[in-house]
């Protein structure tokens, strides 16, 4: 049975007294480029507590103060914080009621997990415990973060070193192939934080790697488009490649999405958001994130006009009554998981943020704990 956490009706507007979950913006706050259009969706956001935040949201780009409104907040449980911390949400393209996932750290028995859940009931359909691959440094964290899929296969991407893409049968979650990043010519230690996703037509798969020296990101990021049919067969076949430049150790790429029309890629990169042409992998837009925040995923609306961003944002912890938590006379800062909205037409990020985590956490006495969100997926209703 689904373990229901808490349901919050209305907007999760106040994270605690004196702190607004909606951050301030300056005169550069965007106006919507698609006047009148609103979107309704159920969004699933991966978290390190062994569950997904399940948020019913209304996306209204014309509402400058509340572009992403959380109407109801619940959760989908796959385990607990010791066994199933997760960054990966991937709804099955064949069935919107099934979501695949993978874990970010080893469980107490030293296993990593891949699984799938029924989104109607919240129950886990299948959970496979996998033995770490010694080639990947014993699979020490970080483990899986991003993922893609084809019609028959779920493809979680191992974020650590050595990086790889697993090709798993969707029905059984049996491992068919493990395809190593080194097959593309990357030596161990020359990159960090591998992520990837399939194109909507499932003809290609995008791999994204941060170039690294002595374990630190150089700010140079490689985008590699490979053939999906070859990947399904256990091989990489490169189609296109490009490198973008950011700031060392501040620009670090995480999860990404293609627009539904397969023309654009929305790439989270910690201190900034990148938008790329999906065919050439050239930069279309670059937007810096607000100070004290990191973007970890970027999912476009079905028409590609906007993208919902999952962002880790520093805020003040608060108790169950909503009062700021202090130690030695100073506010306790924690990380909250929030939504922001990017306007692709106006090429602007609205920095007004809606909390996806702290509203629930403070209600059960966890208002002084970090709420680390990452990847998202969604079922849109319009």
Average pLDDT, the chain: 85
The residue among 370, 281, 287 whose CA lies nearest residue 332 is: 370
Higher-confidence position of 4 and 48:
48
Comparing 95-109, 159-173, 326-340, the range with the smallest average pLDDT is 326-340
User: Residues 137-163: pLDDT tens digits?
Assistant: 766 789 999 999 999 999 999 999 899
Q: Please tell me the predicted confidence (pLDDT) of residue 139.
A: 66
Phi, psi of 184 (to 5 degrees): -95, 5
CB-based burial of residue 246 (10 Å sphere; 0-12 exposed, 13-18 middle, 19+ buried)?
A: buried
Q: What is the DSSP letter of 140?
A: P
CA dist., res. 360 & res. 75, Å (int):
10
CA dist., res. 375 & res. 266, Å (int):
13
Higher-confidence position of 161 and 354:
161
- SS3 of residue 6 by DSSP: coil
Q: Please tell me the predicted confidence (pLDDT) of residue 373.
A: 73
How sure is the predictor about 334, in pLDDT bands with cuts at 50, 70 and 90?
low
> Domain extents for the chain?
1-87+272-382
* Single pTM value for the model: 0.86
Beta bridge partners of 10: none
CA dist., res. 315 & res. 321, Å (int):
16
How sure is the predictor about 366, in pLDDT bands with cuts at 50, 70 and 90?
very low
Q: Could you check whether the bond before residue 5 is cis, i.e. omega within 30 degrees of 0?
A: no
Q: What Å distances lie between residue 236 and 182, 204, 228, 241, CA to CA?
A: 10, 10, 8, 13
How sure is the predictor about 335, in pLDDT bands with cuts at 50, 70 and 90?
low
Per-residue pLDDT, averaged over 344-373, amounts to 65
User: Residues 208-250: pLDDT tens digits?
Assistant: 999 999 999 999 999 999 999 999 999 999 999 999 999 999 9
Does residue 19 contact residue 367 with C-beta atoms inside 8 Å? Answer: no
Q: What is the DSSP letter of 105?
A: S
Q: Please tell me the predicted confidence (pLDDT) of residue 199.
A: 98
Per-residue pLDDT, averaged over 79-86, amounts to 96
The residue among 105, 16, 32, 100 whose CA lies nearest residue 65 is: 32
Per-residue pLDDT, averaged over 372-381, amounts to 89
Per-residue pLDDT, averaged over 342-351, amounts to 95
User: Is the dihedral angle over the CA atoms 139, 273, 190, 202 positive or is it negative?
Assistant: positive
How sure is the predictor about 367, in pLDDT bands with cuts at 50, 70 and 90?
very low
Q: Please tell me the predicted confidence (pLDDT) of residue 338.
A: 85
CA dist., res. 226 & res. 221, Å (int):
16
User: Residues 247-293: pLDDT tens digits?
Assistant: 999 999 999 999 999 999 999 999 999 999 999 999 999 999 998 88
């Amino acid at each position: 049975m689904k373990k229901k956490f808490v349901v919050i009706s209305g907007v999760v507007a106040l994270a605690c007294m004196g702190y607004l979950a909606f951050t301030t913006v300056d005169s550069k706050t965007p106006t919507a480029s698609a006047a009148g259009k609103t979107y309704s969706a159920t969004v699933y956001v991966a978290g390190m507590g062994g569950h997904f935040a399940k948020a019913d949201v209304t996306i209204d780009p014309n509402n400058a103060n509340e572009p992403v409104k959380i109407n109801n907040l619940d959760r989908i449980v796959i385990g607990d914080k010791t066994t199933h911390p997760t960054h990966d949400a991937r709804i099955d393209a064949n069935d919107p009621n099934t979501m695949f996932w993978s874990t970010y750290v080893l469980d107490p028995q030293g296993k990593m997990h891949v699984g799938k859940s029924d989104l109607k009931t919240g129950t886990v359909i299948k959970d496979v415990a996998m033995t770490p691959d010694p080639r990947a440094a014993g699979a020490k964290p970080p483990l899986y973060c991003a993922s893609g899929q084809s019609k028959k296969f779920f493809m979680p991407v191992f974020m650590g070193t050595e990086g790889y893409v697993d090709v798993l049968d969707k029905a059984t979650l049996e491992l068919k192939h493990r395809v190593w990043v080194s097959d593309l010519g990357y030596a161990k230690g020359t990159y960090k934080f591998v992520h990837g996703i399939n194109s909507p037509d499932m003809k290609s798969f995008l791999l994204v790697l941060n170039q690294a020296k002595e374990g630190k990101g150089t700010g140079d990021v490689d985008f590699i488009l490979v053939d999906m049919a070859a990947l399904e067969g256990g091989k990489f076949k490169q189609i296109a490649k490009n490198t973008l430049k950011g700031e060392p150790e501040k620009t670090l790429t995480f999860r990404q999405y293609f627009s539904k029309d397969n023309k654009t890629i929305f790439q989270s990169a910690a201190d900034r958001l990148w938008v790329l042409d999906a065919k050439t992998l050239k930069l279309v837009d670059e937007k810096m994130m607000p100070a004290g925040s990191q973007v970890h995923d970027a999912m476009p609306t079905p028409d590609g006009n906007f993208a919902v961003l999952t962002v880790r944002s520093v805020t003040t912890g608060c108790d169950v009554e909503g009062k700021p938590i202090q130690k030695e006379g100073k506010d306790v800062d924690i990380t909250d998981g929030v939504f922001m909205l990017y306007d692709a037409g106006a090429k602007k990020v609205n920095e007004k943020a809606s909390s996806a985590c702290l509203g629930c956490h403070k209600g059960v006495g966890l208002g002084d704990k970090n709420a680390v969100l990452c990847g998202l997926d969604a079922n849109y209703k319009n």
